[in-house]
Amino acid sequence: MVGNGATGSGTESETGAGTGSETESARSAGTPGSAGTPESAGPAESAGSPESAESTESAGPLAGSLVGVIGAGTMGAGIAQLAVQAGHAVAVYDALDGAAARAVEGIGKRLDSLAAKGKLGTDEAQAAKDRLTAVDSLSALKDAVLVVEAVIEDLGVKQRLFAELEDIVDRDCALATNTSSLSISAIAGALRDPGRLVGMHFFNPAPLMPLVEIVEGLATDPACRDLVRGHAEAWGKTTVTCRSTPGFIVNRVARPYYAEALRAYEEQTADFATIDAVLRESGGFKMGPFELMDLIGLDVNLAVSTSVWEATGYDPRYTPAWTQKEHVAAKRLGRKTGRGFYEYGENAAKPVPSYEPERQQTEPGPVGAGAFSLYRSFGRTATSYGDGRILIDLALDPDNPGTAAIAPAADTPDHVLDEAIAYLQSTGKKVVIVEDVPGLIVTRTVARLINEAVDALYRGDADEDDIDTAMKLGVNYPRGPLEWGADLGFAWACEVLDNLEAVYRDGRYRASPLLRKLAHADRIMDLPLMQQRALSFERASVDEVTKAASAAEKAAAAHRTQPAARPDGPFYERPPVQPYEPSRDQPRDQRHDDPQPHDHPRKDQP
């Protein structure tokens, strides 16, 4: 009998309201007694408890047949609830005495609660409970058509478990692992028939989260993959398919969201609360990275980052941050310990972002000296331009006034900064001043998320639609990273990364080869537009800028039902074009949207 396999395996996710969990390996490895311990700090904090999942009963593949679930932790119990509500008979096994019975009892209470709330018929709830049993040996799973494993993130434990299971179940039984970080190929390597194993990566809480990653190992049989995917979809889930690579789709592509926030803090760009506010209110993310890491558990989040870093050969793009390591070493793990990046408890003060106090405009009209000095960030510092400009961070939600993060140059006059703040506040925005660091906060984060998604596409980890779907449903991003790339411009993302890499020179911001190809295609396809814009706005007066912006505003309003145009130039959000559009006075070789020497010459060039 396989021992030490009791603990439920967690997965990382930021859900609809920013709830989430990551792999529990750091906390539960080798701890069979933690089978009933939740895989996250409050996984149902905002999304609702697992009991709120409505009935998913349907005539799915082999409905009514036996599904085995191994591991009675939070994740295993959630998977069992899904399967039994879909009409299957479900047997739950755990190596820890009494853990399976406790899980079955908990599922029964959730089913009763659903019935009491009218979300499930009383007879249906009772029938589901009658189909659910706790078993005390793996041999009780011999008639299963599918067995889903949700034990601790330990390769040896999983290999021994599946090797033993292979001798018990029928040859046609599909074997699925809920691992969030281990290689499917490595787990399957212990089987005589490795083709029958597939990754079935749920997100926590399983009854609520809509996404399941179907992960193929080197030997996975397509028929097995399709069978497991069919089960997940019959249980009401949206599936994406990917290769077995470190972090799969979600846990790998999402790493920059945490990493860039941590680097920004370490560079004294802003404090935790301000960085969170900028990414929420300017970036449109449901939760800021620091509050999200506190919810997930800093130790759990760090374990995932470390796992991906090690599995990719210590790639500098995934290097864990010392700030997070220090907090984990000090046992400041987040909400579950009462303190992480923030303090929790009855007497804990609510964190407040460093918003600027109200300023009054002293210059008439919508475009004053301050507004005219605002430039969009392309990954350089404001000071590096030498013209006293103010950089404004990327805003991804043009319909939400939100927060504007700005960084003045070292030579920005105080009255110009005050005018810029007053103008932004007059548009309904809250304003924060951050340190003049390359890429500010949202700009560098989104550029890296785009690069990670493009690189996953480049490696063939998954297709374009599945990558964007995974990030929207698995971590609830407002848009998919590839959608951002198409709208913001792959050329913009590539330039931001190149400028960041020129500063740091540590490999963290290296652009994917595919991103460079897409960026070059952007420049070629948009060349006429770029030429026209450069000629229209270069060295333009304030009045000319205002007039052009007004015309663009009317054009944008007439096409507001169309997809957003790709941002071009120093606009910090589009549509509509903002009236404080600055002049195009950068040297030509510093503008991402002007032709490079190897491109076609502009019409005004000889």
Q: How many residues belong to the chain?
A: 606
Virtual torsion, Cα 24, 26, 27, 31, nearest 10 deg: 100
Q: Rg of the Cα trace of the chain?
A: 26
pLDDT at 469: 97
Whether residue 201 lies in the annotated active site: yes
Neighbours of 559 (CB within 10 A): 11
Last residue of a domain, one of 244, 278, 313: 244
pLDDT at 524: 76
Whether residue 180 lies in the annotated active site: yes
Last residue of a domain, one of 244, 275, 291: 244
Residue 266 lies inside a defined structural domain of this protein: yes
Compute the average pLDDT of residues 522-543.
Answer: 48
Residue 108 lies inside a defined structural domain of this protein: yes
* pLDDT-based confidence at residue 364 (cuts at 50, 70, 90): low
Q: Of residues 581 and 155, which shows the higher confidence score?
A: 155
Whether residue 327 lies in the annotated active site: no
**Residue 594 — φ and ψ, nearest 5°?**
-100, 150
Residues 210 and 272 in one domain: no
Q: Of residues 364 and 299, which shows the higher confidence score?
A: 299
Q: What CA–CA distances, in Å, run from 163 to 70, 153, 490?
A: 14, 16, 46
- Residue 410 near residue 384, CB atoms below 8 Å: no
- Residue 445's nearest CA partner among 433, 435, 453 is 453
Residue 427 lies inside a defined structural domain of this protein: no
* pLDDT-based confidence at residue 401 (cuts at 50, 70, 90): confident
Provide the residue range defining the domain that includes 219: 58-244
Count: domains in the chain: 2
pLDDT at 39: 34
Token pair for 390:
């103010």
Token pair for 87:
């009409």
Compute the average pLDDT of residues 325-341.
Answer: 96
pLDDT at 397: 75
pLDDT at 118: 92
Token pair for 490:
């792959």
Catalytic residue among 251, 305, 307, 451: 251
CA-CA distance, 553 to 576, in Å (whole number)? 5
Residues 123 and 263 in one domain: no
Query: Any idea which of 228-237, 260-269, 366-375, 435-444 has the lowest mean pLDDT?
Result: 366-375
* pLDDT-based confidence at residue 73 (cuts at 50, 70, 90): very high
Q: What are the CB-based long-range contacts (under 8 Å, 24+) for 463-469?
A: 466/240, 466/241, 466/242, 466/249, 467/240, 467/249, 467/253, 469/211, 469/238, 469/240
Q: What CA–CA distances, in Å, run from 135 to 68, 104, 140, 168?
A: 10, 10, 6, 14
Helix (H) or strand (E) holding 202: strand 197-202
Residues 225 and 177 in one domain: yes
Q: pLDDT tens digit string along 19-43?
A: 333 433 333 333 333 333 333 333 3
Evaluate if residue 501 carries a pLDDT over 90. Answer: yes
Residues 236 and 279 in one domain: no
Neighbours of 44 (CB within 10 A): 20
Residues 6+ away with beta carbon under 8 Å from 169? 68, 141, 142, 144, 147, 175
Compute the average pLDDT of residues 548-576.
Answer: 42
Q: pLDDT tens digit string along 285-305?
A: 999 999 999 999 999 999 999
Residues 239 and 302 in one domain: no
Residue 149 lies inside a defined structural domain of this protein: yes
Residues 233 and 90 in one domain: yes
SS (H, E, C) 64-87: CCEEEEECCCHHHHHHHHHHHHCC
Evaluate if residue 497 carries a pLDDT over 80. Answer: yes
Helix (H) or strand (E) holding 499: helix 490-504
Last residue of a domain, one of 212, 244, 276: 244
Evaluate if residue 10 carries a pLDDT over 60. Answer: no
* pLDDT-based confidence at residue 427 (cuts at 50, 70, 90): confident
Residues 155 and 304 in one domain: no
- Residue 507 near residue 557, CB atoms below 8 Å: no
Residue type, 590: Q
Catalytic residue among 213, 281, 483, 581: 213
Residue 563 lies inside a defined structural domain of this protein: no
Q: pLDDT tens digit string along 226-277?
A: 999 999 999 999 999 999 999 999 999 999 999 999 999 999 999 999 999 9
Helix (H) or strand (E) holding 175: strand 174-177
CA-CA distance, 343 to 337, in Å (whole number)? 9
DSSP 319: P
Q: What CA–CA distances, in Å, run from 19 to 11, 47, 205, 473, 580?
A: 12, 7, 9, 12, 37
Residues 273 and 186 in one domain: no
Which domain CATH number covers 307? Answer: 1.10.1040.50
Residue 232 lies inside a defined structural domain of this protein: yes
Provide, rounded to the nearest whole percent, the portion of the chain with pLDDT above 90: 68
β-bridge pairing 390-392 and 403-408: antiparallel
CA-CA distance, 372 to 415, in Å (whole number)? 13
Residues 261 and 239 in one domain: no
pLDDT at 62: 60
Which domain CATH number covers 223? Answer: 3.40.50.720
- Residue 174's nearest CA partner among 222, 234, 206 is 222
Token pair for 263:
């680097």
DSSP 363: S
Compute the average pLDDT of residues 182-198.
Answer: 96
pLDDT at 344: 95
Residues 262 and 185 in one domain: no
Residue 199 lies inside a defined structural domain of this protein: yes
pLDDT at 398: 67
Average pLDDT score over the chain: 81
Residue 435 lies inside a defined structural domain of this protein: no
Evaluate if residue 84 carries a pLDDT over 50. Answer: yes
Q: pLDDT tens digit string along 129-168?
A: 999 999 999 999 999 999 999 999 999 999 999 999 999 9
Query: Any idea which of 169-178, 260-269, 419-428 has the lowest mean pLDDT?
Result: 419-428
Residues 290 and 149 in one domain: no
Evaluate if residue 114 carries a pLDDT over 90. Answer: yes
Catalytic residue among 9, 24, 201, 451: 201
Q: Of residues 70 and 604, which shows the higher confidence score?
A: 70
Compute the average pLDDT of residues 595-599.
Answer: 38
Compute the average pLDDT of residues 457-485.
Answer: 95
Residues 265 and 212 in one domain: no
**Residue 70 — φ and ψ, nearest 5°?**
-110, 120
Whether residue 88 lies in the annotated active site: no
Handedness of CA 200, 206, 209, 210 (dihedral sign): positive
- Residue 110's nearest CA partner among 248, 239, 2, 207 is 207
**Residue 88 — φ and ψ, nearest 5°?**
-85, 155
Catalytic residue among 13, 28, 55, 180: 180
- Half-sphere exposure at residue 339, Cβ-oriented, CA atoms within 13 angstroms: 10
